[in-house]
Amino acid sequence: MANPNPDPQPPYTVCVALTGASGMPYALRLIECLAELKVRQYVLTSQAAQVVLRQELPDLAIPGRAAELADWLRQRYAVDEALLQVFGREEWFAPVASGSNPADAMVVCPCSMGTLAAIAMGSSDNLIERAADVMIKEQRKLILLPREAPLSAIHLENMLKLARLGVVIMPPAPGFYHHPKTIEDLVDFMVARLLDHMGLSHPMIRRWGH
């Protein structure tokens, strides 16, 4: 029987996972932009990501515990609790752990080579890996921002395997045709490309040919 009072369309949902690679400014800027767009976010962090956060952004004093990080992000970006939740690495009852409730899109930003390899192998040993596995099996949008140089044959083979499964491999390699003047301009270039691939409209950068 059809529901006579169906629920309204739920908000677009993005899972943002931070792992132990360099590039944390991309992650925080993405979270900020999604908050501005009123997109619901599930934020996941690895232990290595917390180390890199403290190293790259020492002035921010970002907390490590999931509940404290959630409060910090909500206050920083003025977002309601309903639109931003943070889950620990073994919170298996998180929505993103099940194919019955996947996010519309997931971004691993930045993506360490270890995380990329685990996703390619389908190991699902923690919530980030399991969430990515869910996105692949449910054929939802999964975007990885791998940050490593140079790339070994192992890295390239793992990326190729995932690309053949439909995963978007987007190394953080900003362009320069928009004449960036600050580091923030370079960060915005990559975040804008992420939003593009998730189908989210934004005015962040000047388009090619305009």
40 annotated ligand binder: no
115 annotated ligand binder: yes
- Whole-angstrom Cα distance, residue 198 to residue 53? 25
42 annotated ligand binder: no
94 annotated ligand binder: no
114 annotated ligand binder: yes
13 annotated ligand binder: no
Residues 6+ apart with CB under 8 A from 83: 11, 35, 38, 39, 40, 41
Contact (Cβ atoms closer than 8 angstroms) between residue 130 and residue 97: yes
- Whole-angstrom Cα distance, residue 23 to residue 171? 10
21 annotated ligand binder: yes
Strands 168-169 and 84-87 come out as unpaired
112 annotated ligand binder: yes
- Whole-angstrom Cα distance, residue 27 to residue 33? 10
120 annotated ligand binder: no
177 annotated ligand binder: yes
105 annotated ligand binder: no
Annotated binding site for FMN: 20-22, 46, 112-115, 147
Annotated binding site: 20-22, 46, 112-115, 147, 177, 193
Annotated binding site for dimethylallyl phosphate: 177, 193
